[in-house]
Amino acid sequence: MTAAGSARTAEAAAGSARPGAAAGGSARTGGTAAKSARPGADVRTSLVVAADFADVIGRGGDLPWHLPGDLRRFKALTAGGVVVAGRRTHESIVARLGRPLPGRLTVVVSRRADLPRQDGMLVQPDVPAALHAARAVAAFAGRDELFVIGGAEIYAQALPEVTRIHLTRVHARVGGDTALPAGWLAGFTRVAAERVDGDALPFTVETYERA
């Protein structure tokens, strides 16, 4: 089952997971009820990002490179799943595609009441609420991983909850106005790496796990 389903179904799954939504207190009902009161507790929170050697990830509100191979990897990695994105990241995707990411559910972090709603997206007011909703929807869809896809502020706020990082390390120093926070990989161990050539810039696909 994909997490992309209709926004209405996703909202129902997310709504049932809000704190206090379950009847009765877990302290009174024991371990089984406590687990059911935390849907999504077993869903891994992963971060997906492309960065150059200086940890630059953006310039002028967009990616400072065009790497078709990495875009294909991103699509394959997140297909059928749930992604969490900030408003500007979401709007840049809609500007390019005319809609939210197809085949995925995007949980958008925004407090803007006038943000246009489309099928394939939910809106939550802050990062904790977005992660909570994304975990619930992912669990409802039988998924064991959700993906935080930016931008920089969303990455920084979500990082304490992240247990895996899918990093595309672009072999360049391109310059830009948006970068990951200093020390962002502290506490993570690289467990896999694969160099990819053939695009305008070579890059290495790296996987990190929280130590």
Q: Which CATH architecture has domain 7-15+45-210?
A: 3-Layer(aba) Sandwich (3.40)
DSSP 88-148: HHHHHHHHHHSSSPTTSEEEEE---TTPPP-TTEEEESSHHHHHHHHHHHHHHTT-SEEEE
> Does 33 have pLDDT greater than 70?
no
Instruction: At 191, list the tokens.
Output: 């467990």
> Does 39 have pLDDT greater than 80?
no
Confidence of residue 114 (pLDDT cuts 50, 70, 90): very high
User: What H or E segment, with its residue span, contains residue 192?
Assistant: strand 188-196
> Does 58 have pLDDT greater than 70?
yes
Q: Angle at which helices 127-140 and 7-16 pack, to 10 degrees? A: 110
> Does 74 have pLDDT greater than 90?
yes
Q: How many whole angstroms from its chain centre is CA 50?
A: 13
pLDDT digits (tens, 9 = 90+) for 77-88: 999 999 999 999
AA identity, residue 206:
E
Instruction: At 34, list the tokens.
Output: 């406590």
Give pLDDT, residue 5: 61
Give pLDDT, residue 85: 98
Give pLDDT, residue 40: 77
